[in-house]
Amino acid sequence: MRREFKRHKTFTRRALFLGGAKLGLFTLLGGRLYHLQVLQSQHYAGLAEDNRVSPRLLPPERGLILDRFGVPLAVNRQTYRVFIIPEQTPSLEETLTRLEKLIPVRPGERERILRTVQRMRPFTPVTVVDNLDWEDVARVSAHSLDLPGVAADMVPRRLYPQGHYSAHVVGYVGAVAEEDLDGDPVLTIPEFRIGKAGIERVREADLRGRAGVSHVEVNAVGRVIRELSREEGEPGKDLVLTIDAALQRFATERLAGETGAAVVLDSQTGEVLAMVSSPTYDPNAFDRGISSREWESLLRNPLAPLSNKAVSGQYAPGSTFKMVVALAALEHNIVSPGKTFFCGGMLKLGDGRFHCWRRGGHGHVNLHDGIVQSCDVYFYEVARRVGIDRIAAMAERLGLGKRLGIELPGERSGLVPTKSWKLEALGKPWLIGETLIAGIGQGYVLTTPLQLAVMTARLVNGGRGVLPRLTRRIGEQRVAPEPGAAEDLKLTPEWLKLVRAAMDGVTNQRWGTAYGARIAEPGMEMGGKTGTSQVRRISASERRSGVRTQEELEREERDHALFVGYAPVDDPRYAVAVIVEHGGGGSRVAAPIARDLLKEVQRRDPARRTTPPEGVVAPAAFEVGPPGYRTGERS
């Protein structure tokens, strides 16, 4: 009995211990459930709601780009995309075969679609073809019963109505790369496009806008059930540029077939009225999807169509630099306007011989005739007396040798050498012979076409330091400076008048180097300066045997042709700079192009107009747009 009582007592203690342990566990479980379901109920309800509701970004509408008269340079259009939902079609390959008979499908697309379907969930839409027009989509819709799972939707695309005419100014948009990510969530939207070149790139922040948000209900596997709410984003701001689209088109066509650049400025405000780089390219190819073959062709083209030569091309200015040397000499009282030097066709300096472009020489030449006849020997003598550092200081005041801050990527500074520059950059002292060469715009001197246009504007506008501008308006805000805003360069008016009169003589005096390219119409006369930039050095043996003409040389050995000019002569308003790579002589090739540009810009007179000239018909590309084409007002 005693043993039985002891065994029963031991069982009772174990049962009590196990019961207590179970009670404790149930208490902990109840407490945890209370914590999760009561105390943390709102937190987990929010998580569940987040799993049920998925926010999706809506791409904003990109701002328009317009010329100064409202002509569209970059607009948005709604193109169409055909896609297929694999789970809704009984036979994917058979459906694709039927679809290929209705719309153009590029080779290899079928294989891409099949590979994509294998990786994606069956309810995920897979794009078959994009950039379709309405006729293609209508054809697909008409056969919808035979194409189960196939549907179409609209996709915003960027359209450049001017095409290649405005490519280097406006630029283009392209897919977002990893290095483009700046924290803006809109950049993570699939197939979103951002500016990659031109004003599209520089003004990306203004053009992009702000993304909207769509809240959709999804199930456990991510299938969209319905849209719960939508918050529209903020469209990008429209840009109004200083460019005159019709003048831009005229300049592009005038430079067609040549390699080079041309810039037309309002000399009073610095507004860029036309900027052309030749050859050019079609920016629409980048938005619709450029092939690797097309891209390689553009990159490997020796004429560099993707490069904006107006701001990134660096060339020796040749004789267009002589006005800089003349002003430096006058400002420092090195020479007087009547001081003459004798040109016999050559100047000796030590063992070196520095030749004039005219083999027989020009005889006794003063400053006016030195510019009009572009006498090299005269400017050798002047440059030697002035010195390279004074020449460089004047060149910088006129806008050479430094970036001008134009609103375009890739602008280069050019080079105006000094004694200290050569010692620091090359570790060698400056030589007097290098001053002579710099005096005619050769040697180390490098400029861009834009800089030459700005130099010309400053020479003829009374010595005001205008800067080039491309944007007139961002949204409703005006950004271009008003006339008179440019700083005074403190140049002596008497000397500016003298230099301008010499530029007048270049085109309007019979012995002027550009007389053959003058504007004969009364009231539209132009002034200017020719320039020829040597690409290769002419040896002494070639001079003895007779130098070959430019036409006899290989293209790569021909000189660059330059011309800078202004019009009208009596009241300068427009400035121009033209360079034709390997074009030969400036008077023969560049001056006629500049003349035609100055005639056209005076005829249109965009600086004084708020509307285009009467009777000027907009190009066909502006008149008819595809579905969704917008040109001015937002829908």
Give the pLDDT confidence of 597-613 residue by residue, as tens digits. Answer: 999 999 999 999 888 77
- Residues 38-50: what's their mean pLDDT? 55
Report the alpha-carbon distance of residue 267 to residue 486 in Å, rounded. 11
Which pLDDT does position 17 carry in this prediction?
73
Confidence of residue 41 (pLDDT cuts 50, 70, 90): low
Report the alpha-carbon distance of residue 255 to residue 274 in Å, rounded. 12
Residue 173, both tokens: 């948009």
CB 371 within 8 A of CB 505: yes
CB 263 within 8 A of CB 252: no
Burial class (CB in 10 A: 0-12, 13-18, 19+), 244: buried
Q: Please check the confidence at residue 619 and state whether its pLDDT lies above 50.
A: no
Which pLDDT does position 104 carry in this prediction?
80
- Letter for the amino acid at 35? H
Percent of the chain with pLDDT over 90: 56
Verify cis geometry, omega within 30 degrees of 0, for the bond prior to 279. yes
Q: Please check the confidence at residue 592 and state whether its pLDDT lies above 60.
A: yes
- Residues 453-461: what's their mean pLDDT? 97
Q: What is the pTM of this model?
A: 0.83
Report the alpha-carbon distance of residue 542 to residue 550 in Å, rounded. 13
Q: Please check the confidence at residue 338 and state whether its pLDDT lies above 80.
A: yes
Which pLDDT does position 442 carry in this prediction?
95
Confidence of residue 27 (pLDDT cuts 50, 70, 90): confident
Which pLDDT does position 621 carry in this prediction?
41
Domains, the chain, with CATH or none: 56-241 (3.90.1310.10), 245-288+308-527+562-604 (3.40.710.10)
Report the alpha-carbon distance of residue 274 to residue 268 in Å, rounded. 15
Q: 290-330: per-residue pLDDT in tens? A: 777 888 899 999 999 999 999 999 999 999 999 999 999 99
Confidence of residue 635 (pLDDT cuts 50, 70, 90): very low
In order of 76, 284, 479, the CA distances from 238 in angstroms are 11, 19, 13
Whose CA is closest to 453, among 508, 397, 399?
399
Which pLDDT does position 291 carry in this prediction?
75
Q: Please check the confidence at residue 548 and state whether its pLDDT lies above 60.
A: no
267 is catalytic: no
Q: Please check the confidence at residue 26 and state whether its pLDDT lies above 90.
A: no
Taking only Cα atoms into account, the Rg of the chain, rounded to an integer number of angstroms, comes to 36
Q: Please check the confidence at residue 514 and state whether its pLDDT lies above 70.
A: yes
Which pLDDT does position 622 carry in this prediction?
39
Q: Please check the confidence at residue 57 and state whether its pLDDT lies above 90.
A: no
Looking at per-residue pLDDT, the higher value among 534 and 253 belongs to 253
Report the alpha-carbon distance of residue 550 to residue 586 in Å, rounded. 12
- Residues 406-433: what's their mean pLDDT? 96
Active-site pick, 267, 312, 319, 374: 319
Q: 353-393: per-residue pLDDT in tens? A: 999 999 899 999 999 999 999 999 999 999 999 999 999 99
Q: Please check the confidence at residue 186 and state whether its pLDDT lies above 60.
A: yes
Q: Which residues of 435-455 are buried (b: 16+ CB within 10 A; e: fewer)?
A: bbbbbbbbbbbbbbbbbbbbb
Average pLDDT score, the chain: 85
